[in-house]
Amino acid sequence: MIRVIAGAATHVGRVREANEDSFLCANGLFFVADGMGGHSAGEVASDIAVTTLREVLSEAGNIVLASDDVAAAVRHANTAIYSESVLDSSKAGMGTTLTGLAVSNPFDHKAVVANVGDSRTYLWRHGELRQITKDHSHVQSLVDRGAITRAEARVHHQRNIVLRAMGIDSYVDVDTFEVDIEDGDRFIICSDGLVDEADDNEIEAQVRSSIGPQDLADRLVTLANDNGGRDNVTVLVVDFVLTTATDSTPIVTEIPPIAATIMDPPARNRTSMWFSVAAWVMWLAAAGITVAVAVSAIASK
C-alpha cells in the first residue's frame, strides 16, 4: 500500500504582477505548470494544462496507468491549450511547461513522471537530491554539449529560452518514464522561479532542515523570494510511505493537509525602483527635446 503526504506552495514573487503558475495536487496526481503569454494568457494555459490532466487521468477511473496513458493525457492537454489559442486571438501564442508525476500503480508502487519544458521534478532518496527530469531549454543543450557547466547555466543570460512547451503547436513531444517508488521517497516538483534563484545545494539545505512536506514547500518559496523572487514560484513536495499490508486492497491515500499556501506578495521594492528609473529617463528625454527645440529656434533666427 502507498500513502502519500503532500505539501504545496505558490507565490507571485517580488517583481511580477500576476502568478501564471498552476498546480495539481490531488488523487495521486502531482503536477506544476508554468504559463507564458501576455495579457494573463499564461495563466489560462497553465490552468488548462492541470485541469485537463485531472479530468483525463482521474475521471477515467483507472487505478493503474501506463506511461502511455500519462503521455496521452499530456498530449490531450496540449491540444486543449492549442485549440484555445487558435480560437481566441487574445491568447495566441500562449503556452506552458508541465512536469510532475502520477501514481500509476499503487499495488506495485510505481509512478510515471512526465515533463515538457524547464520546470523540474527532483527526487530526494537515501539523503541525495537528484533532478530526474531533463530541462528542454537552450542552456541545457549547451550543458549537454559541454559548452557550459550546470552552474553557468543557472546564471546564463539565455536561461529562459525554452525549447519545448505545451500549447505552441498541435503536437507536443512528451518525456515520460516510470519510477519504482521506495519507502521514504520525496519528490520535489517546482517551476523555474525556484531553480533560477536557488542552486541545488541551497535547496538541499532546506530539505535537511524541514519538518514535513508543507513546511518544505513553504521554505523553498521563501528561499526563492529571499534570493530575489524575480519570477512566480511554485513548489510541490510529495512524500511516499510504503506499508507491507497485504490483507487490504492497496490504494492511494491522500493525507491532509494539502492546503496550498498562497502567500501575500511582499513589498515590490524592485518595481518601484525601476519605475523611478524609467520616470527619470523620460524626464531627461523630455528635457533634451526641449533644449533641442530651443537651440534650433535660436539657431534659425
Nearer to Mn ion among residue 10 and residue 85 (C-beta)? 10
108 alpha-carbon distance from chain centroid: 28
* DSSP code for 90: G
Q: How far is the CB of 11 from Mn ion (least distance, A)?
A: 12
- Total number of residues that touch Mn ion (CB under 5 A): 5
**What 3-state DSSP class applies to 44?**
helix
Report the site for Mn ion in 8-67 (rule: CB under 5 A): 34
Task: Identify whether the C-beta of residue 210 lies closer than 8 Å to the C-beta of residue 216.
Answer: yes
Nearest approach, Cβ of residue 47 and Mn ion (Å)? 15
Span 144-173, contacts to Mn ion by CB under 5 A: none
Q: Tell me the closest approach of the beta carbon of residue 20 to Mn ion, in angstroms.
A: 7
Q: How far is the CB of 65 from Mn ion (least distance, A)?
A: 28
Binding mask 220-259 for Mn ion (x = CB under 5 A): -----------x----------------------------
DSSP assignment, residue 231? Answer: S
C-alpha cell at 123: 527526487
Cα-based distances in Å from 198 to 182, 194, 201, 205, 276: 27, 6, 8, 11, 28
Compare residues 111 and 235 and give the one whose CB is closer to Mn ion: 235
Cis omega (within 30 of 0) on the bond before 213? no
- Residues whose CB is less than 8 angstroms from the CB of residue 130 and which lie 6 or more positions away in sequence, other chains included: 122, 123, 124
User: Minimum CB separation from Mn ion for residue 230, in Å?
Assistant: 9
Touching Mn ion, residues 169-198 (CB under 5 A): 191-193
Could you give the string, one character per residue 84-123, with x where binding to Mn ion holds by CB under 5 A and - elsewhere? Answer: ----------------------------------------
Q: Which is nearer to Mn ion, 34 or 43 (CB)?
A: 34
What is the distance, to the nearest Å, from the Cα of residue 109 to the centroid of all Cα atoms in its chain? 25
Q: Decide whether 5 or 166 has the Cβ nearer to Mn ion.
A: 166
Q: Which is nearer to Mn ion, 69 or 118 (CB)?
A: 118
The C-alpha atoms of residue 233 and residue 220 are separated, in whole angstroms, by: 9
Q: Minimal distance in Å, beta carbon 165 to Mn ion?
A: 11
Smallest distance, Mn ion to C-beta of residue 77, A:
18
Minimum gap (Å) between residue 105 Cβ and Mn ion: 31
For residues 135 and 92, what is the distance between their CA atoms, to the nearest angstrom?
Answer: 24
**Calpha distance 67→247 (Å, rounded):** 28
- Tell me the C-alpha distance between 205 and 227, whole Å: 15
Q: Which is nearer to Mn ion, 10 or 104 (CB)?
A: 10
Instruction: Compare residues 111 and 194 and give the one whose CB is closer to Mn ion.
Output: 194
The site for Mn ion (CB under 5 A) is made up of 34, 191-193, 231
